[in-house]
Each structure stands twice: as structure tokens, then as C-alpha cells.
Amino acid sequence: MANKQRYSGLYPVAPTPFTSTGEIDFDGQRRVLDCMIDQGVDGICILANYSEQFLLSDEERRQLTELSLVHVAGRVPVMVTCSHFSTQVAVSRARHAAEHGAKLLMLMPPYHGAGIKLDEASIYEHFARVADGAGIPIMIQDAPLSGVTLPADFMVRIARQLPLVRYFKIEVAGTAAKLRKLIELGGEAIEGPFDGEEAITLMADLDAGATGVMSSAMLPDLICPVIEHNQAGDRKQAAKAYDQILPLINYENRQCGLRAAKTVMMKGGVIKSDHVRHPLEPLHPATRTGLLELAKSVNPLALSWGI
């Protein structure tokens, strides 16, 4: 049977804070989660690419999963990213997350370099086994990072045949067009069509029927009004609210990437360091200055939460 609870709204990605020497700042992680809840989010995604999941050890993943789920304590639903090329590892991660209270999972299709390409049958089986192992809803992350093409009709087939796999985060070129096609082909089987990429295409994606948004943790409180006005049928006010924050979102997406939320949160006293793990490099001082100037002009909660 399909999952009775439908998840929608704003589900930002929690950054993983590190000390200045690169160790996980566990107290900082708790503060990040509290700040995000105060930002008015509908849910939180952990261990995603914007959480630097590809720079974490298996033990660190386990610790962060358990810490986050204990600390959030049901205040909002938590989605745990469990992507891995190995189906066995993905199932193990998913089971662990479900056992500790995760409400949803997010996975990219299995990928490992440009030379390994799986057919649709193998990709389908990967998601089927994870769903069977975890028993909670799964969101497929359709992202260029994987290098895997997921046609809309294939995702619709997955949704119709795997009732727990009916959420889709679309962040490829032409997101709105793909969301629209996915919804048109899948109908009620598409329980959660989500917008991604830090909400840089948010208005077009809402127009296309997106019911969920996955941004960074930099300015969820300022994205909320866009979604709320849109849900109320006031597109003019939604567009006005979006226009005010789009320069900052664009700067984040095109200039900073995952480092933006950390830099704003450090400036706002949420975390002590905006360190990113090598081989990622810190923001150039000029880029940091530009980011903070734009952030100050719209004043997201993260810029003052801990001060």
C-alpha cells in the first residue's frame, strides 16, 4: 500500500559543521538543526551532497544520523540521504535511518564514474530493495552529479510499481518541464514532486506543480513566504517575495555552492567555523564578502540566530 502520510513544503539540507581543523562539530550540528526548525521549515534533509556526505566516513554518517534524529525528536520530519552504488550498503544505511526514526530517505540512482552505466532494470531493483529493506518512503534524487539519465516515464513506472518510491527531487536542466511531464504522466502516483538546486528555479517549478522544495539552510525563512503565497493562489506576491531573495540564491548557486550556508551561519553565530573538508577549498575572501553583503540586504534568520 502507498504511504498514507504525504510530505510537502520546505525541506532544506542541513550542512555538516566542522571545527577549524576538520573534525565534526557535534554541538554545532545540534545548533544547525535548531536554527533550521526556527526558520519555519516543514522538514530537514541530512547527509545530502550539500551536507558534504561524500567527505564523511561510515562511522561519522552513523553518528550524525543518530544525533540528528535524537535531537530533532519529531519536531519536524527528517529525511536521511542513503545514496551508494552498492545496493547492500544503501539498504544497510536506509534500514539504520528508519530504525532510528527517519520519516523519508533520499537516494540517487547507483553511479560510480562515467564508465559504469546500469540499465533501467538494475536501477529499478536497487530502489526496490532499499524500499523493501527500510519500509519508509523514498525520494529519488534526479541530479546531474550522478551522470544517470532518469526519463520521466521510467520514474512514473517506478512510482506505480513501488508505492514507497513516489517522491522525486528534480534538479536537472529544464526542471520545470520535467516536473510537468512527470506529473502529467504519473498523476496520483507522484506523491511528492520536489524542486531542488537551492530553489534557483523555484517559481517556474511551483508553476509546474512542485509541492516540495529542497533548498540549502541559508535562507529557508525567506523562501517560506514564496511557497505560502503560491499555495494561497497569490502568484504576484509569491513572485515579489522571490524577486527579493533571488540575487542571494543565484550567488549561492553559481559562486559558493555548499559553502554559502556555512559562511552565513558562522557569521550569524550558529556555528563556530565554516570549514569545508579538502579537497574542497574555502571561499575566496572577495566571494565571501559578496555573499555576506547580499545576505545582509535581505537579513535571513541564519545571519543573526546565534548572536
For 32-79, the pLDDT digits (tens) are 999 999 999 999 999 999 999 999 999 999 999 999 999 999 999 999
Residue 5 banded pLDDT, cuts 50, 70, 90: confident
With contact defined as beta carbons under 8 Å apart, do 24 and 277 qualify? no
In the residue annotation, 169 being an active-site residue is answered as yes
In this model, does residue 130 exceed pLDDT 90?
A: yes
Helices (runs of H) and strands (runs of E) counted in the chain? 11, 8
For the ranges 70-79, 106-115, 260-269, the lowest mean pLDDT is seen at 106-115
Residue 195: what are its φ and ψ, rounded to 5°? -90, 145
Q: Is the pLDDT of residue 219 over 70?
A: yes
Helices (H), the chain: 26-38, 58-72, 87-99, 120-134, 152-161, 175-186, 202-207, 220-231, 235-251, 259-267, 285-298
Q: Given the residues 103, 169, 178, 262, select the one marked as catalytic.
A: 169
Cell 516515464 sits on residue: 153
Alpha-carbon gap, residue 230 to 195, rounded angstroms: 14
**pLDDT number for residue 114:** 78
Whether 2 has a pLDDT exceeding 60, the answer reads no
80-89: average pLDDT: 98
**What is the H or E stretch that residue 104 is in?**
strand 104-107
pLDDT at 3 (0 to 100): 57
d(CA 30, CA 6): 26
| Residue 52 DSSP code | T
Query: What number of other Cβ atoms are within 10 A of residue 30's Cβ?
Result: 16
Q: Is 243 exposed, middle or buried (0-12, 13-18, 19+ CB in 10 A)?
A: exposed
